[in-house]
Each structure stands twice: as structure tokens, then as C-alpha cells.
Amino acid sequence: MAPSTNVDPIKTLDKNGQEIKSVGFQRFGFDSEVPIDLLRSLYLRSHYVLSAPVEQVDNVDTKELADHARFTQGLNAYQSKSIYHPETQSISYTTLTRFPPVKLLPPSERKRILVTGGAGFVGSHLVDRLMLLGHEVTVLDNFFTGSKTTIGHWVGHPNFEMVRHDVVEPFMIECDQIYHLACPASPPHYQFNAIHTVKTSFMGTLNMLGLAKRTKARFLISSTSEVYGDPEVHPQHEDYWGHVNPIGPRACYDEGKRVAETLTYGYHRQDGVEVRVARIFNTYVNPHDGRVVSNFIVQALRGEDLTVYGDGKQTRSFQYIHDLVDGLIALMNSSETRPVNIGNGDEFTIGEFAELVREIVEKVQREDGVVPERRVQIVYKPIPIDDPQRRRPDTTRAKESLAWQPRWTVRMGLEEMVRYYKAKMAEGSI
Ligand SMILES: NC(=O)c1ccc[n+]([C@@H]2O[C@H](COP(=O)([O-])OP(=O)(O)OC[C@H]3O[C@@H](n4cnc5c(N)ncnc54)[C@H](O)[C@@H]3O)[C@@H](O)[C@H]2O)c1
């Protein structure tokens, strides 16, 4: 059934009030630009639809397709429509009849790119972008926190390969660029097995640097703002060495990333490996990671009160995923070998942030004609150990050496996340 045509397409405005129609840019000889709607057709979608009683199927289908059309502007030809049958708790998967269109690059421009952790949140968005741009992409992932469904729409594509592998073990492949992202990123995930997190950061990075050395590939590691710990300097500049508790519950991640950076520069100095270090600040996240944004959105959509840990005065800055992917690609293709902060400097207190999430969820519910039973409240609970009080990137270096700065406002990014979470809830996966 054709989607209804009288739905308003989603308009996203950037910081200067200009409509965002594409993401990426041509920089350092690498073109990373793709239309936003093509990308949205890949991630703002349900992985499967619920089967409904026969008499309701037509309505459900129309509504679902109409919702879908708002995000994807008719690009649903590239959708996988698996069906979940609640009565038998079974799922009927489907494969794509057609892959999304990818650029046809001449062999001289087509790169062989390895993305470790490519099935995770950041990795899957990076993979979508690199695939649409026409490169050959290999994903290496042990699916600890990532899922095959995030990149399932590429399986079988001639430019794509997916390998189940733990980076703690050596791996050999010919490639031109390595984006080394493999590492659980949220506290509940990286604390689940602290020793394996340290092994992933140390041995995983060692293995991937060894690979970069052998193949002469350029190596980019996704480091983190956590290397600054609970900082005494605001905002955090790349030259700040940090203030990290080496034995606290977060140390497996913070110290893991610090030693991963040490290894990276060791290989650079000793073996001449071409390295890039991205210190990523908080990025809007996937629904299951237990971090502040996802908790707030899920709670608000479920009509539950929002939980703020501490007095809500601790601040965070959040960037949207497309800005991060732009930054990672720019850094990889630039000549900048020093660490580079990639984040959005718009600082919000956690309390303000809870208010913003509540307001946006209410807006989206109004648009959808949903009337909540009551207004959700914001409740305060004791703060967890080692939770940094304040974190904000100084992104001068990214601006100067990559000509990169965030385009997405916190509000627009959040709005898109709320819609994404809603789609996930509709399919029953949150
Ligand atoms: N999302 C953020 O806000 C943020 C902030 C700072 C840094 N980072 C860094 O970016 C990278 C990606 O983060 P994310 O948010 O996508 O997290 P994620 O948990 O969604 O993705 C991590 C991916 O790595 C895989 N993985 C974990 N350990 C592995 C191992 N030993 N071998 C192979 N694969 C493994 C997971 O299965 C998953 O697919 C991480 O290195 C993280 O430290 C993320």
C-alpha cells in the first residue's frame, strides 16, 4: 500500500537556521556528503513490524507507512520489513530486494576501510555513510553491545563484509584505513566485565595498530573525553592531561583509553604508523546504554518520571551522531596527528536537560495526537561514584585544523532521537 501523501516531511534546521538537507562535506580530498533522507531511511526505521489482527492490518499498515514516509521521503524501497507475531513470539525475517544506492567510485578513489566495533552505535552510522559514499567496508565486531540488525541492510552487498571477531585476538586483512571503535562505551556495559574492557582497549588496540603497521593503513582510534577524568580545567583542551581515578569503577574504561592512546603514539613514533586520535564527547546514544539521554527519553516516552542523579547541577554537552561522523571522517583524511576533541560545546545541566527532553517528548506526542495521562515529573536520586561534575569540549583545534564544527543543535538532535526511540518502542524492542 502506498504511504499517505499528506504527511509533513521532517525539517531540520542547523545552528544558523538553514535547513539540513545533507550531511558531510568535501574536505582533504575526501567527499563525505550524502543526503540526510537517504541516511534516515536506514536508521529511522523499525527493524520489524508487529503483526496485527486481520481486521486492523490495513490501518496499521497505513499508519506505519505514513510515519515511515515522514522520515524517509519515499525511500522505503530499501526497507526490510520483518514481521513479529506476538501470539507465537516468533519473528519472520526478510531480506532486501534492493540495496540503497551507493556511489560508483573509480577504483583509484575507492578505499578498503576496516571498522572495528562497526555494529555499535557510532560504528553503524559511520558504516552507513562510508557505504553510501561507495567505499569497501569490512566490519569487525564481537556483538557484545552491537547488533547485526544495525547494519543488516548491507549484508550481501558486494562492497560489504561483516566478521564476528574479538579484537583482543589478532586479525589480518588488507586495508587502507582503520577506524578502531571496538570498545563498550557506556558504564553498565564497560563495567559488566572490567577486565575484558581493559583487554579490549589494550590488546585490541595493540592488534589493530600491528595491522596498521603491516598494511601501512591509516589508523584512527575513538578515544573519549573520559581521558580527562573529573577535570579541573574548563573547557577541556587537548593539552590538558586529565584527572583520573586509576582504581575506581570507571577506571577500566578511562585508563583503558589512556593506555590505548599511549600505544597509538608509541606506534606513531617508533614505527611511523599514520595515526589519528579522536577524543569523543557525549553523543546521543542507543536506547540500551543506560546513559543519561537515553534514560530520560525512554522514561518520558513511557510516561515514567525522569531520574536525575545528584542535584542536577552537573553539566554535560551532547553532540548529534552526524556531526560526530563528519568529524571522524574529516580527521581520518586530514593530516592532523595530535588528539582532537570532537563534541558540541553547548553546555546543559542535567536538570535543564531533563526539562528539555520532557518538553520535546510532549511536542512529539502532541504532533502524534497522543494525550498522556499525566505530566511526568523530574525526581532526584543520590549521585553514583566518580560521576564527573562538569565536562565541556574546547573544540578550537577541530575548528582550526579540520574546519569542523557541530551543525546540529541539541534540540534538533534530541527531537530526532525521540522519534527514533518511538519507532523502536513501536516495534517492541525498547
Ligand atoms: N557514544 C559516545 O558518546 C562515545 C563517547 C566517547 C567515546 N566513544 C567511543 O566510540 C566507540 C564506539 O562507541 P559506541 O557508543 O558506538 O558504543 P557501542 O557499545 O554501541 O559500540 C561498540 C561496539 O564495539 C563492539 N565491541 C566491544 N568490544 C569488542 C571486542 N573486544 N571486539 C570486537 N568488538 C567489540 C561492540 O559489540 C559494539 O558493536 C567506543 O570506542 C567508545 O569508547 C563513544
Q: For the beta carbon of residue 48, count every other beta carbon within 10 angstroms.
A: 20
Could you tell me the pLDDT band of residue 32, with boundaries at 50, 70 and 90? very high
Phi, psi (degrees; rounded to nearest 5) at 62:
-65, -45
Q: For the beta carbon of residue 217, count every other beta carbon within 10 angstroms.
A: 22
CB-based contact 334:278 (threshold 8 Å): no
Q: What is the CA radius of gyration of the chain?
A: 21
Residues 83-131 pLDDT 10s = 777 788 887 777 766 788 899 999 999 999 999 999 999 999 999 999 9
- The stretch 199-217 carries a mean pLDDT of 98
CATH code for the domain defined by 282-322+344-389+409-429:
3.90.25.10
Ligand 1 binding pocket includes 360 (Cβ within 6 Å):
no
Q: pLDDT at residue 8 above 50?
A: yes
Ligand 1 binding pocket includes 121 (Cβ within 6 Å):
yes
Could you tell me the pLDDT band of residue 226, with boundaries at 50, 70 and 90? very high
Q: Where are the domains of the chain?
A: 282-322+344-389+409-429
- pLDDT given at position 1: 35
Ligand 1 binding pocket includes 122 (Cβ within 6 Å):
yes
- pLDDT given at position 289: 65
CA of 222 to the centre of ligand 1 (A): 8
228 is catalytic: no
Q: Which residue has the higher pLDDT, 382 or 159?
A: 159
Ligand 1 binding pocket includes 123 (Cβ within 6 Å):
yes
Q: Which residue has the higher pLDDT, 310 or 224?
A: 224
Q: How far apart are CA 221 and CA 207, in angstroms?
A: 12
Q: Which residue has the higher pLDDT, 56 or 185?
A: 185
- The stretch 27-42 carries a mean pLDDT of 90
CA angle 425, 406, 29 (to 5 degrees): 110
Phi, psi (degrees; rounded to nearest 5) at 340:
-130, 125
CA of 288 to the centre of ligand 1 (A): 13
Entry pTM: 0.90
- Please give the mean pLDDT across all residues of the chain: 87
Long-range contacts from 59-66, C-beta under 8 angstroms, 24+ separation: 61/1, 62/1, 62/3, 62/4, 64/426, 65/1, 65/2, 65/3, 65/4, 66/3, 66/4, 66/7
- The stretch 134-142 carries a mean pLDDT of 98
Burial, 301: exposed, middle or buried (Cβ in 10 Å; 0-12, 13-18, 19+)? buried
Share of the chain above pLDDT 90, in %: 60
Residues 383-395 pLDDT 10s = 776 666 667 899 9
Could you tell me the pLDDT band of residue 190, with boundaries at 50, 70 and 90? very high
Q: How far apart are CA 121 and CA 118, in angstroms?
A: 8
Q: How far apart are CA 416 and CA 430, in angstroms?
A: 16
CA of 409 to the centre of ligand 1 (A): 24
Q: How far apart are CA 40 and CA 75, in angstroms?
A: 9
* Active-site residue, selected from the candidate residues 48, 253, 267, 421: 253
CA of 395 to the centre of ligand 1 (A): 22
Ligand 1 binding pocket includes 162 (Cβ within 6 Å):
no
Mutate-to-test residue for ligand 1 from 114, 115, 122, 211, highest number of ligand atoms within 8 A of CB: 122
